[in-house]
Chain A
């Protein structure tokens, strides 16, 4: 019995040591080229010649944010971007995590009780709209859209829902197929999360399927929808030696890195080209080597645009008459190492892709020419070259 108790004590001690080692570890997970989103925060861009009021001159507002989380790459970047805008606009952001519909609804209630003026949310639900209207709080959908007809009807009729801004996932799916086809790939596979798991992935898949239909000589060898994406790719590699194109819409637990791992272990590098989403670790090298041909990402600046639409409503100059129509923005697409280097400098660097002034230009109260058309123009122009051309002087 004594021996047994000693063993238990040793075990518990071990647990405590490992627990404290893990808990006290640095924030950096040890990787050199970490791309965890700009968790360090963006610098405030001081422009003495600005025609727009400084933050100190603006009325304070409070805005709540409802999102899946803020520790992953995209979530972290969203948070950094909004915190930056908060400094530029004198807006206090409250970040709340929500995963289930119930959490979105209760999150809305909590934010309203905290006295927010507006809410940026991944999901827009009828009960959220109802609560926002009761409280006179504005609601803006970010990085997502609703396709439910009843919800869209409510959005259209509501004075407090300011709109939905998201990337065009459908077009992204089309672009992935078209790019591989243009490169000469004729035997492709595509991989996505389970149907119904996330609307954006489903929209990407719709785009993929429609684009495939367009090309008669494009052969889809196999597809997979689920979480075991790396394993699926392994099986495809073993079954289809003629495979030359791989499309992955994302959503796997191991991220794009696990796909790269499989490509390496199965000897696919040089044989097949990957088109995928979510720029991350190792993207630059992969683009340089050619195993990665097309990658989309850079979604977080969309939240700045969404914030602009919301802010307009909060200050009394709404610009979106048709909130039930989604404002689509393109993904940032990278196709070369240079693209990637510029992306890391100009998008994930110390200055956000849209500075405070650039967002203020979308606020009708500050710029009488601000309008929905201008918002769409921002979207139409959005690309890595666009960001470089706008901000290269800021880095000199």
Chain B
């Protein structure tokens, strides 16, 4: 029990080390403009939608599938779901239901197409971005969607956190405590062996898209709540949403050695948002902020990929030293 607790504590510390370091760093250099509770709450609120998208993408990425169309799904779900809610006068519950139905429906379409066409996911989903971005131009007069007043309440604390907590719990339970979640991980780590063990890769991948669609639908609800108005956008503008979430996923994968993927992704997204706010506090311009953020990510990924190399190098040096000493002493 003692060892288990110690191991657990150590892993928790390692998981939280990165955001703590970022926080402390900007607390020191932020000219007293960083670190307030209001700011942390704002950062947490800003993290909700990207985390939801990250969870959707992370599930697919576990099985080796990229999904660049996630942003497009969110865009379609926001506009169609939001307008349907307004049309039916169903308010927030209607918005949630319709956005999630549309999110699941569109994501399922991606999954069905993937199984049917058997093209690489990266190719398919980039192509579908163009399709999904066009859909809003043809529905509801092409004017997008506008909500206001009480319908935007989910953007505020604590409602946004309640939403995140519920969705996070769903992901955590499904990914770790259901046969589907185990099958996803099995397929992701050994497709051939899993297939021979009776798993159906096509079915599992489709379910993965559908499952991701639930989170994209909720991300659409948050997107609407925060912005109030969503206009159709073309030219792969929605891919920007995906890239933001990807950063969280990369850090999440780096942290998954110490903690569950869902937790890692959440920490990763929050850390990136905190970094951005910290850079604003320091007074960096947009360009410098973007360069810094990119460099930060590169450093994290570089450290992650080369972890252990330093200790490995040290161990090798030590071994060489001992061997040379033995040889010189003629103790062979």
The reply to whether A and B meet directly (CB within 8 Å) is yes
B-contacting residues of A (Cβ < 8 Å)? 4, 8, 11, 14-15, 18, 21-23, 25-31, 34, 36, 71-72, 99, 222-228, 230-232, 234-240, 253-255, 257-258, 260-262, 265-266, 281-282
Chain B residue contacts of A240, Cβ below 8 A: 33
* Given known contacts A29-B144, A258-B228, A260-B228, A238 and B277 CB-to-CB distance under 8 angstroms: yes
Task: Mark contacts of B247-284 with chain A using CB atoms, 8 A cut-off: 1 yes-contact digit, 0 otherwise.
Answer: 00000000000000000000000000000110011010
Q: Does B320 contact A (CB under 8 A)?
A: no
Chain A residue contacts of B80, Cβ below 8 A: 18, 22
Q: Which residue of A lies closest to B157 (CB)?
A: A265
Q: Which residue of B lies closest to A26 (CB)?
A: B141
Contact assessment for B152 and A225 in the assembled complex, using a CB-CB cutoff below 8 Å: no
B154 CB to closest chain A CB (Å) equals: 11
Chain A residue contacts of B43, Cβ below 8 A: 235, 238
Pairs A–B under 8 Å by Cβ, sample size 27: A11-B112, A14-B105, A15-B105, A15-B109, A21-B84, A22-B83, A29-B140, A29-B145, A30-B83, A30-B87, A223-B285, A227-B237, A232-B280, A234-B42, A235-B42, A235-B276, A238-B42, A238-B277, A239-B33, A239-B34, A239-B277, A240-B33, A253-B233, A254-B228, A257-B146, A261-B155, A265-B226
CA distance A262 to B45 in the complex (A): 12
B71 CB to closest chain A CB (Å) equals: 11
CA distance A168 to B203 in the complex (A): 58
Contact assessment for A18 and B105 in the assembled complex, using a CB-CB cutoff below 8 Å: yes
Chain B residue contacts of A258, Cβ below 8 A: 226-229
Q: Does B11 contact A (CB under 8 A)?
A: no
* Given known contacts A23-B139, A29-B141, A234-B46, A8 and B286 CB-to-CB distance under 8 angstroms: no
Contact assessment for B234 and A99 in the assembled complex, using a CB-CB cutoff below 8 Å: yes
Q: Which 8 A-B pairs have the closest CB atoms?
A: A257-B229, A254-B227, A71-B142, A261-B228, A238-B42, A258-B227, A27-B141, A22-B139
Task: Mark contacts of B290-326 with chain A using CB atoms, 8 A cut-off: 1 yes-contact digit, 0 otherwise.
Answer: 0000000000000000000000000000000000000
CA distance A261 to B150 in the complex (A): 11
Contact assessment for B280 and A18 in the assembled complex, using a CB-CB cutoff below 8 Å: no
Q: Does B195 contact A (CB under 8 A)?
A: no
* Given known contacts A29-B83, A30-B87, A281-B229, A15 and B42 CB-to-CB distance under 8 angstroms: no
Contact assessment for B280 and A235 in the assembled complex, using a CB-CB cutoff below 8 Å: yes
B46 CB to closest chain A CB (Å) equals: 6
Contact assessment for B227 and A282 in the assembled complex, using a CB-CB cutoff below 8 Å: no
Contact assessment for B108 and A239 in the assembled complex, using a CB-CB cutoff below 8 Å: no
B201 CB to closest chain A CB (Å) equals: 14
Q: Which residue of B lies closest to A264 (CB)?
A: B152
Task: Mark contacts of B168-204 with chain A using CB atoms, 8 A cut-off: 1 yes-contact digit, 0 otherwise.
Answer: 0000000000000000000000000000000000010
Contact-size category for B? 35 or more
* Given known contacts A29-B145, A239-B34, A253 and B231 CB-to-CB distance under 8 angstroms: yes
CA distance A22 to B137 in the complex (A): 11
Contact assessment for A265 and B156 in the assembled complex, using a CB-CB cutoff below 8 Å: yes
CA distance A254 to B152 in the complex (A): 14
Contact assessment for A265 and B36 in the assembled complex, using a CB-CB cutoff below 8 Å: no
CA distance A99 to B134 in the complex (A): 14
B178 CB to closest chain A CB (Å) equals: 16
Q: Which residue of A lies closest to B38 (CB)?
A: A238
Contact assessment for A15 and B108 in the assembled complex, using a CB-CB cutoff below 8 Å: yes
Q: Which residue of B lies closest to A31 (CB)?
A: B146
Q: Does B39 contact A (CB under 8 A)?
A: yes
Chain B residue contacts of A30, Cβ below 8 A: 83, 86-87, 140, 146
Q: Does B138 contact A (CB under 8 A)?
A: yes
Contact assessment for A253 and B105 in the assembled complex, using a CB-CB cutoff below 8 Å: no
B290 CB to closest chain A CB (Å) equals: 8
Chain A residue contacts of B90, Cβ below 8 A: none
Chain A residue contacts of B109, Cβ below 8 A: 15
Chain A residue contacts of B39, Cβ below 8 A: 238-239
Contact assessment for B152 and A237 in the assembled complex, using a CB-CB cutoff below 8 Å: no
B186 CB to closest chain A CB (Å) equals: 19
* Given known contacts A71-B142, A235-B46, A255 and B280 CB-to-CB distance under 8 angstroms: no
Which among A14, A72, A254 has the greatest number of chain B C-beta atoms within 10 A? A254
Q: Does B10 contact A (CB under 8 A)?
A: no
Q: Which residue of A lies closest to B146 (CB)?
A: A31
CA distance A238 to B68 in the complex (A): 31
Contact assessment for B231 and A36 in the assembled complex, using a CB-CB cutoff below 8 Å: no
CA distance A257 to B147 in the complex (A): 9
Contact assessment for B227 and A257 in the assembled complex, using a CB-CB cutoff below 8 Å: yes
Task: Mark contacts of B99-111 with chain A using CB atoms, 8 A cut-off: 1 yes-contact digit, 0 otherwise.
Answer: 0011011101100
Chain B residue contacts of A4, Cβ below 8 A: 203
Chain B residue contacts of A255, Cβ below 8 A: 229, 231
CA distance A11 to B285 in the complex (A): 47
* Given known contacts A22-B80, A23-B138, A30-B87, A253 and B228 CB-to-CB distance under 8 angstroms: no
Q: Which residue of A lies closest to B213 (CB)?
A: A11
Contact assessment for B227 and A11 in the assembled complex, using a CB-CB cutoff below 8 Å: no
Contact assessment for B231 and A25 in the assembled complex, using a CB-CB cutoff below 8 Å: no
Q: Which residue of A lies closest to B233 (CB)?
A: A253
B325 CB to closest chain A CB (Å) equals: 58
CA distance A230 to B228 in the complex (A): 10
* Given known contacts A254-B231, A281-B146, A25 and B38 CB-to-CB distance under 8 angstroms: no
B228 CB to closest chain A CB (Å) equals: 4
CA distance A372 to B106 in the complex (A): 54
CA distance A147 to B108 in the complex (A): 47
Q: Which residue of A lies closest to B105 (CB)?
A: A15
Q: Does B240 contact A (CB under 8 A)?
A: yes
Chain B residue contacts of A266, Cβ below 8 A: 42
Interface residues of B in 41-70 (CB under 8 A from A): 41-43, 45-46
A241 CB to closest chain B CB (Å) equals: 8
B280 CB to closest chain A CB (Å) equals: 5
A372 CB to closest chain B CB (Å) equals: 36
CA distance A26 to B230 in the complex (A): 18
Chain B residue contacts of A232, Cβ below 8 A: 280
CA distance A234 to B235 in the complex (A): 26
Contact assessment for B280 and A239 in the assembled complex, using a CB-CB cutoff below 8 Å: yes
Which among A11, A30, A265 has the greatest number of chain B C-beta atoms within 10 A? A30
Chain A residue contacts of B46, Cβ below 8 A: 231, 234-235
Chain A residue contacts of B285, Cβ below 8 A: 223
Given A11-B112, A228-B240, 20 more A-B residue pairs with CB atoms under 8 Å apart are A14-B101, A23-B138, A29-B146, A30-B140, A99-B234, A223-B285, A225-B287, A231-B226, A234-B46, A235-B280, A237-B42, A238-B39, A239-B33, A239-B39, A253-B233, A257-B229, A258-B227, A258-B229, A261-B155, A281-B146
Partner of A11, one of B42, B105, B139, B237: B105
